[in-house]
Every structure is written in C-alpha cells, then in structure tokens.
Amino acid sequence: MRLTAIRGTRDLLPEELVRWRAVEETAREVFGRYGYREIRTPLFEATELFVRGVGAGTDIVEKEMYTFEDRGGRSLTLRPEGTAAVVRACLEHNLFAELPVLKLYYIGPMYRYERPQAGRYREFWQAGVEAFGSDDPALDAEVILCAYDFLTGLGLRSLTIHLNSLGDEERQTYVQALREYLAPHWDRLPARDRERFEKNPLRMLDSKEEITRALIQEAPQVLDFLSEKSRHHLETVCRLLEREGVPYRVNPHIVRGLDYYTHTVFEVTAEGLGAQDAVLAGGRYDHLVEEVGGRPTPGVGFAAGVDRLLLALEAQGVAPEPGPELDLYIAVIGEVRAEALALATRLRRAGYRVDLEFLGRSLRAQMKTAHKRNVPLVALLGEDELREQRATLRDMRSGEQRSVSLEELIPAVAQMLSHSNPN
C-alpha cells in the first residue's frame, strides 16, 4: 500500500507555507513588542509532567495523549500543550530567579489523539505566551491586549473575546452550589451531562444539550460566588481592557479544559470556522508552578491555534499577496551550462534569487517556466551572447529587452529590477 501521512497529520507544502510564515512572523513581532522572548522545549517530556501540569482527571490526560515507552523503559508523552513544558524548563534552568517578571513565548506543534475534523488535527500548531511572577490584574489585561494585537495584526475580523473568572479557593464552593442546584433535575439530565455532573460539573456550563442549557440559565453564577478579592481582580481586568479599547464580553459559561486555571479565563472565537471556532484561549494559573514542583509563582498566558488562525483567515478572505519567489531566471541556449552556472553564482552571491535551466529544453519552454514562476527578469545566455561576453536581459512585465556585457550585468540587473518593482 502507498505510504501516506498518518491520520490527523498533514504536509505543509511550499505554497501554504507562505501564509504560515506570515502568521509566525506576526506572532514573533507582536510578542516581541510586549517583551516576550522565545523558548523552545522538546516535543516530548516525561508523562508525569503533563499528568501533574494539565491535571490527571482531564480528557487530555485521560484519553488524548500520545504516550509511549522508550527503549530505556521511561514513560514519555508527546506534548499535548505548551505551558507545562515551559514551566518545567524555567524550573530546570532557574529562569524565575533571573527576572522578577519572566515573559516567554513559543511556537510549535502539539499532539492530541482526537478524531480529526474541521480545524482539529492530531498534530496541530500553537503559538503562545506565558508571563510569570506577578498576580497583578494589569498583567492579565496586558496578556489579553497582546492576544488582541496579535489577532488583529493578522488581519482577522469578526472576533469575540469571551472573558470569565473561575476565582480561586471559592471555586469549590461554587461547584458545590452548582451540584446542589442541579441534583433535583438529575432525572432530566442527558447521560452525557450526568457524567459531567460527577466528574467536572463546570463543564455543564458550556453543554450543548438543550435541557441542560435551559437549566443553566437559572443556575447559580460563578460571578456571584467570587470573593471580594477575585471580584476586584476581574473588575480591574475589565476596566483596563475598556480603557485600551479591547472589545470583550463577560461570559460566565467559559470554562477551560485544563485544570490549572484560576481567576481570569478567556477564549477568542472567530467567524467562519464551523464547530471548532475557538482560535485562541488562555487564562491565569497561579498554582501551576507549585504543582510541577517549584516555589509558588503566579502566571498568566494564552495559546493560539495556528492551524485555526489560518482557516479563519482563509474563511474571512484575508490572503497576503505571495510575491515572486525568484528575481531572475537564466535561460540557456546551446552548450553554455558552465557559463550559465557561473553567472548564477555571481548573481546569487550578490544577493539575488536565481534559478536556471537544467533540462536543455527549447527557449520557448524556458520562457514559459519563467512566466509561470512569475519571475520579473530573464537573462538569456546563448552561444551568440557568449562569443561577445554579453547576455540579453528581458523585463518580463514590459517585454523590453537589452543586451548587456557580462561585466555590467549586476548593476544592469539591479537597475531593471528596481524599475519593474517600483516599491
């Protein structure tokens, strides 16, 4: 049988990578403006890191991890998300001691064993930021601001920022209240939501079951259970976002699937994506560092799904013009390949992107290739030209053509390129 990319993974071909790189560049640029520095961690880690970091009871850990044993009998897992590994690296290299507020970003593939569907892959890319060391709500606001600048910087429109707070210690009180409210309705609950009721009642808040949704309408709200301090934290975040002109909606039904969140949680959805419309999500995680084995260190961050961002950009018709991949194509006629290669080398070392003919095809075929590749300039090198140590330069846009001595070729190329490309 023919070998193919395995389920849920895919190849990114040269054409698509133009857009991928644009997204990555925007991420680096915007994150850099907010003071984040890049970190890269391994694609796999000790399984235990994710069990402790993400949470033993979460779906991610229970049924979605790529876990395997290496030849030394260690249990390893392909990272299902980025935050836990970043925390591990910071602890290992004592980065928290270096700066009182430590800001790091990452871009890379993550792995989850899920059924693939629109906007969901088993190997998918995330770009995320983590800010450690401060529990100031201004940092939460700044992280959301950074996310907002990133998304709008990509050209995305029709975004909704959902904001909520899960509080901290009071979360347990709320969960209990939610259970007490729902318990009398047990008989009416769909099987799925009964499971949630037992395992993770917060999940019922974003249930898609009609009956549950109706019940949730009347249910006690997280926001009413927040402590004075937590409420103040949320209010400050809101006030700062308003002041900076970031549109958001407080949505008490936003819950996250990872256990480590406290206080602020947020999710950004984009239009045109189908069922998987969350394009970026994050929040505060004040206990995660401790959970992974460090001293108590607050943190806040987000992760954006690069694959989904690209789908959303496509759905919203935001397509950057690709621009030519080559500056010049050398068309070769007759036995002049050594000279053609030498010419290409000279031009390349002068900084131009150059390709040339290797198949000995007709000039017509070569011109077609140059045209198809959208090359602005073609240098014609044949035995006639070579005798006089000259080449013919053709501007593919205007059709204008002139003979240039090989010595003056580079300045002539520079001049013709600047002409045909007036920006």
Partner RNA sequence: GUGAGUGUAGCUCAGGCCGGUAGAGCGGCUUGACUGUGGAUCAAGUGGUCGUGGGUUCGAGUCCCAUCACUCACCCCA
Q: What is the CA radius of gyration of the chain?
A: 28
Q: Which is nearer to RNA, 170 or 384 (CB)?
A: 384
- Give 242-265 as a DSSP string: HHTT---EE-TT---SSTT-EEEE
CA distances from 52 to 64, 105, 382 (A): 15, 21, 68
Q: Which is nearer to RNA, 37 or 208 (CB)?
A: 208
Q: Which of 16, 36, 18, 19 is nearest to 28 (CA)?
A: 36
C-alpha 363/C-alpha 400 separation (Å) is 17
Q: Which is nearer to RNA, 112 or 233 (CB)?
A: 112
Q: Which is nearer to RNA, 17 or 99 (CB)?
A: 17
Chain centroid offset of residue 350 CA: 35
Would you call 374 helix, strand, or coil by DSSP?
Answer: coil
Alpha helices (H) along 99-169: 137-154
CB of 412 to RNA, least distance (A): 15
What phi and psi values does residue 324 have, to the nearest 5 degrees? -65, 145
CB of 98 to RNA, least distance (A): 27
Interacting residues with RNA (CB under 7 A): 1-2, 4, 6-8, 58-60, 64, 81, 112, 114-121, 124, 126, 192, 196, 203, 207-209, 256-258, 267, 274-276, 278-281, 303-305, 307-308, 333-334, 361-365, 367-372, 380, 382-385, 392, 394, 396-397, 399, 401
152 φ/ψ sector (left φ>0, alpha ψ -120 to 50, else beta): alpha
**Which tokens sit at 251?**
């949505």
Q: Which is nearer to RNA, 108 or 257 (CB)?
A: 257
Q: Which is nearer to RNA, 233 or 390 (CB)?
A: 390
CB of 100 to RNA, least distance (A): 27
CB of 79 to RNA, least distance (A): 12
Place of tokens 């961690």: 41
CB of 340 to RNA, least distance (A): 12
CB of 280 to RNA, least distance (A): 5
Q: Which is nearer to RNA, 299 or 305 (CB)?
A: 305
Q: Which of 318, 237, 280 is nearest to 151 (CA)?
A: 280
CB of 391 to RNA, least distance (A): 8
